[in-house]
Amino acid sequence: MKKILFLLTISCLLTFASNSQNTSLQKGNSFAVRGFHLDLRIQVMTMSALRSFALQLKGYGFNTLIMEWEGTYPFEKHPLIPNRYAYTKKEITSFIKYCDSLGIDVIPLQQSFGHVEYILRHYRYKDLREDQQDYSQVCPLEEDKDRALFTDLYTELASTHTSKYIHIGGDETYLLGHCEKCSRKAALEGKSKLYIDYIRMLCDIVIKLGKRPILWADIALKYPEAIKLLPKETIFIDWNYGWDLNRFGEHQKLIESGYEIWGAPSIRSHPDNYFLTEWGKHFKNIRDFVPQGRNAGYKGMIMTSWSTSGQYSKVNESETEIIDLYAIRHVYPISGFNILINAFAESLKTNEPLNIPQYVEKYCYNRFGFSKEQSAKFWQAIICTPYEINQGTVLSPQQMSINDVRDSTRQAALALGKLIPAKNIAEFEQFRLMTDIRLQYLNYEAIYKFANEESFSKKDLPEVLDKLNGLLENGKKLDARFIALNKGILQPGELREENDLRSAKIKLLYNRLANVK
């Protein structure tokens, strides 16, 4: 059975490609760049899965793939940076050659300001840190050392990537102006100058390599008066995951800046994690932002897909020595999101906003053979009560208890269980598994809330331990299903780690309470 599910899963990555190639992409398509951003910070895909995914994207009509390699790129001059899942140079060059043959431009994304914990964690690079306790950001005033490091990294990336672009990151620089030197400069010249001077240095490195620099637009929007100081070759990506266009700053000033702009919605972003996917939010994001970008004259549209929040918690062995960095917030693997990837691709083919009900009905008919009624049941099941639980409280518009959300999710799981797809079984099993994982989580949250009540005492332990033990046994079944569906897509070590992380809280609570005498 596991082998069958694996083969079906790989098959579903390929089927869309062949089914979509006959669809015209010309009508209403105003985006020269139609891309997908693949985040490999965690959940590292096997090389065979990457190739299958690229073929799928080709079938959808994509022509660009932004690869956030992070620690999976085998930097030779900086061998401390690659992680245990790093690909070989031969694998990467072969993959890029394959994508070139498909007409897909592979753009490397190298974070170079914030989100560089995986580099700054090593004391070889400690002098570049903005803060010695928070490794997330480089100090922009360590200019010579910064330039030397990123010249090395960009040069290696340029040697293996045929694209004319390098994405330099530049988003979420929350520590800007934090250290003593940066604080002084910010007080004299403003944080905008601090940011733009550093970004301009990075852009210059890229341009000298014969490439065009790309960066996320959020911080530039915050400091629009300094945008004009960047090279004219610079491209901004305006990422918007369902919020007001002016969230980061005055959007119109970016439009009027004269720079080339691409847009970016998302299919996995905050607050998504293993226990919650806000399907409705992501569909609306595609429906609303793609037309907005088209009307604003954006030259490209890139779908982002974040495997984690980009924030990390340190695991220390002493006040100054770090053991590891724990990625905060894990989400379900990309293998479960074909419906959103396809929805984005469809939205690029027309000037009209995506008609979500119509799209879902058509998708479910084509992929699973569902009737209109069955498609509606599917849709209601995956969007039911999409609310976070925080400290025992349901974050919902109307007052709801954990039990309310749990009961709704249980009904959703039952509804999905009654739907029998005529084809693409493995893909549909991903939806069932995601719902069952959420139900497992909600069952735990209900138990934990009870354990936090003032009335909870030793007499309640047998009942609680019995329920926790039941969850642990059910967790083993969920783990087996997860591996069966994603084997061959993610690295084996990643599969084990993801399973362990999903059950960690249950095991900790069980072990804590089991020792109470």
Strand bridging mode 388-390 / 312-316: unpaired
517 confidence band (pLDDT: 50, 70, 90): low
pLDDT tens profile 430-449: 999 999 999 999 999 999 99
Tokens describing residue 142 = 């360590």
pLDDT tens profile 451-497: 999 999 999 999 999 999 999 999 999 999 999 999 999 999 999 99
As a whole number, mean pLDDT of residues 296-321 equals 91
Radius of gyration of the chain from its Cα atoms, rounded to whole angstroms: 24
Higher-scoring residue by pLDDT: 1, 176: 176
Tokens describing residue 452 = 């936090």
29 confidence band (pLDDT: 50, 70, 90): low
Which among 159, 171, 235 has a CA at the least distance from the CA of 203?
Answer: 235
Percent of the chain whose predicted confidence (pLDDT) is above 70: 94
Q: What is the mean pLDDT of the chain?
A: 93
Percent of the chain whose predicted confidence (pLDDT) is above 90: 88
Report how far apart the first and last C-alpha atoms of the chain are (Å, whole number). 43
Extents of the domains making up the chain = 31-347, 369-514
* pLDDT score recorded for residue 22: 35
Q: What is the architecture of the domain spanning 31-347?
A: Alpha-Beta Barrel (3.20)
Q: What is the pTM of this model?
A: 0.93
pLDDT tens profile 328-341: 889 999 999 999 99
Which among 266, 211, 210, 270 has a CA at the least distance from the CA of 240?
Answer: 266
Residues in the chain: 517
